[in-house]
């Protein structure tokens, strides 16, 4: 049962809240979360919410996993911090690198750490350029991303995000960034176009983009296996095969952004297995530590990494580090996440729960407000029959999308609404009964939203 927690006396004046309207954040009290239990979180008034998006797709083990808290505490007491760099490191970082290398989809993988997903994506682009300088191709610095994607909040990674309005409003340097379409077959296929034709068109678009930029200037392609920020559209069959064939032909590295999809979300440890992907590098964060401590990992193939090592021999050292990269507490928590994943057989647990999630989502197929239903592993989306919404990556939504988002919050289920898609990606530990509760709450919210929109019409 929810209990009221003390409210803080802090003002609204000082804190700058991202993905929010700044004026509203100073004038209207935001939802203040004070505690969590399992898949639920509680605000300062004691109201409970089922976190149907694991707070930005992070909290894989929910909000009260004692094993992770104890792992953090043990490491805090033993050695709360020591930097990794300058030929010094800590045991947890070494052990975590070994464990991740063993799980990686490449032989002889090598692992670098960062603190956030943004930082890891930023670092890997920097590494790609360092590699290409060594290979005598310093002009190969451009990165191809996809419209609608999100790869982070630093200047460089925001430039890789697929939102034109965000590029413009922050006056981002776009000189090294190119964009191609997302494989959102449901919303973006041409009249009468089959999935195979759609895939072939996207592969052609990629090739034309490379040729127009000059293949000798393009270093990498970055993509999420399933793009959450653009509305959760699992790609059509053959999409990545066709894309990777083009990348290989032009010697362009494939950076697999598994910040969200990594660690069982899609029903496999990594989505590389789900889609049989062979990237050159993979980036992970979020569920890596169940978000209990900020840590991210860059996992590189032996071939990709080999050039970094050879270049560092020439330079005398690899002039790169981050003070908190490979933080011992983050590494200790991530090691415990990997232990829990194994002990609790989370991949199979997710596959079992995915059946219930899909069944409940399928129940909306004939709903008058729902145009499409998508599901994969413990992720899914409902496509609303709505028009005129803002771009997902800027977080602005309007009309029915906004009504659904607000009503869900009111009914105590936190979904992510991006454009016209409503996303579900609950903590991986969710039970079948909790999945039912999540959708029971959402049913009420959808009814409320329907009423609100028809009253406003």
Ligand X SMILES: Cc1ncc(COP(=O)(O)O)c(C=O)c1O
Q: Which residues bind ligand X (CB under 6 A)?
A: 56, 116-118, 121, 150-153, 224, 228-229, 257, 259-260, 285
Q: Which two tokens stand for residue 150?
A: 């999100």
Nearer to ligand X (CB atom), residue 260 or residue 337 = 260
Q: How far is the CB of 380 from ligand X (least distance, A)?
A: 16
Query: Hunting for tokens 């993509």 — which residue is that?
Result: 223
Are 270 and 262 in contact by the 8 Å Cβ rule? The answer is yes
- Token pair 């990606």 in the structure block, residue: 425
Q: Which residue, 287 or 446, is less far from ligand X as judged by CB?
A: 287
What is the b/e burial string over 151-184, where b = at least 16 CB atoms within 10 angstroms of the residue's CB? Answer: bbeeebbbbbbbbeebbeeeebeeebbbbbbbbb
Residues 6+ apart with CB under 8 A from 49: 40, 41, 42, 43, 409, 412, 413, 414
Q: In whole angstroms, how close is the CB of 100 to ligand X at the nearest point?
A: 17
Q: What is the CA radius of gyration of the chain?
A: 22
Q: How far is the CB of 109 from ligand X (least distance, A)?
A: 19
Q: Report, in Å, the least distance between residue 229 CB and ligand X.
A: 6
Q: Where are the alpha helices (DSSP H) in 29-79?
A: 54-57, 66-78
| Contact of 52 with 426, CB cutoff 8 Å | yes
Report which residue's Cβ sits closest to ligand X: 117
Collect all residues with Cβ–Cβ distance below 8 Å to 249 and sequence separation of at least 6.
Answer: none
Nearer to ligand X, 36 or 225 (CB): 225
C-beta closer to ligand X: residue 152 or 412: 152
Report in angstroms how near the CB of residue 61 gets to ligand X at its nearest: 17
Q: Of the candidates 53, 61, 36, 54, which has an alpha carbon nearest to the alpha carbon of residue 339?
A: 61
Q: Which is nearer to ligand X, 42 or 221 (CB)?
A: 221
Please provide residue 173's backbone torsions phi and psi, each rounded to the nearest 5 degrees: -80, 110
408: Cβ–Cβ under 8 A, 6 or more apart, which residues? 52, 414, 415, 417, 422, 441, 442, 445
Q: At its nearest, how many Å lie between ligand X and the CB of residue 405?
A: 17
Q: How far is the CB of 121 from ligand X (least distance, A)?
A: 6
Minimum CB distance to ligand X smaller for 52 or for 407: 52
Q: How far apart are CA 317 and CA 226, in angstroms?
A: 36
CB closer to ligand X, 152 vs 380: 152
Q: How far is CA 163 from the centre of its chain?
A: 16
* Distinct helix (H) and strand (E) counts, the chain: 16, 15
Instruction: Give the nearer residue to ligand X in terms of CB position, either 157 or 356.
Output: 157
**Shortest approach of ligand X to residue 398 CB, angstroms?**
22
Q: Looking at beta carbons only, is 381 or 407 nearer to ligand X?
A: 381
Tell me how far, at minimum, the Cβ of 154 lies from ligand X, in Å: 8
Instruction: Return the number of other C-beta atoms located less than 10 Å from residue 347's C-beta.
Output: 18
């Amino acid at each position: 049962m929810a209990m009221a927690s003390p409210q803080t006396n802090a003002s609204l004046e000082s804190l700058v809240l991202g993905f929010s309207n700044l004026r509203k954040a100073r004038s209207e009290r935001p939802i203040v979360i004070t505690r969590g239990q399992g898949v639920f979180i509680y605000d300062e008034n004691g109201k409970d919410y089922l976190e149907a998006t694991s707070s930005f797709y992070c909290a894989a083990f929910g909000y009260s996993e004692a094993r992770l808290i104890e792992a953090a505490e043990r490491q805090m007491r033993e050695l709360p911090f020591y930097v990794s760099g300058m030929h010094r490191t800590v045991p947890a970082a070494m052990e975590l690198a070994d464990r991740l290398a063993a799980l990686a989809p490449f032989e002889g993988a090598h692992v670098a750490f960062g603190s956030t997903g943004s930082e890891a994506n930023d670092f890997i682009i920097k590494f790609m350029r360092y590699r290409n300088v060594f290979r005598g191709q310093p002009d190969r610095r451009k990165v191809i991303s996809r419209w609608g994607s999100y790869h982070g909040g630093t200047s460089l990674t925001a430039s890789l995000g697929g939102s034109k309005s965000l590029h413009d409003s922050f006056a981002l340097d776009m000189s090294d960034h190119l964009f191609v379409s997302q494989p959102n077959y449901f919303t973006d296929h041409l009249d009468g176009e089959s999935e195979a034709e759609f895939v072939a068109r996207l592969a052609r678009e990629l090739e034309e983009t490379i040729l127009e930029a000059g293949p000798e200037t393009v270093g990498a392609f970055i993509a999420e296996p399933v793009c959450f920020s653009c509305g959760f559209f699992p790609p059509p069959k053959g999409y990545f095969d066709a894309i990777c064939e083009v990348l290989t032909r032009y010697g362009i590295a494939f950076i697999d952004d598994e910040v969200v999809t990594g660690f069982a979300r899609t029903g496999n440890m990594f989505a590389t297995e789900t889609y049989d992907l062979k990237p050159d590098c993979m980036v992970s964060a979020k569920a890596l530590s169940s978000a209990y401590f900020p840590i991210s990992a860059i996992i590189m193939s032996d071939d990709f990494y080999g050039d970094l090592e050879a270049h560092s021999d020439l330079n005398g050292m690899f002039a790169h580090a981050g003070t908190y990269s490979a933080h011992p507490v983050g590494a200790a928590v991530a090691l415990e996440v990997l232990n829990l994943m194994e002990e609790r057989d989370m991949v199979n647990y997710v596959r079992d729960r995915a059946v219930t999630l899909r069944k409940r989502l399928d129940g909306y197929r004939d709903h008058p407000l729902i145009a499409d239903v998508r599901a994969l592993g413990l992720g899914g989306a409902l496509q609303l029959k709505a028009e005129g919404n803002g771009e997902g990556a800027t977080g602005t939504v309007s009309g029915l999308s906004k009504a659904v988002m607000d009503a869900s919050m009111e009914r105590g289920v936190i979904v992510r609404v991006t454009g016209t898609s409503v996303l579900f990606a609950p903590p991986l530990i969710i039970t079948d009964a909790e999945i039912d509760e999540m959708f029971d709450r959402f049913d009420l919210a959808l009814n409320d939203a329907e009423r609100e929109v028809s009253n406003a019409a």
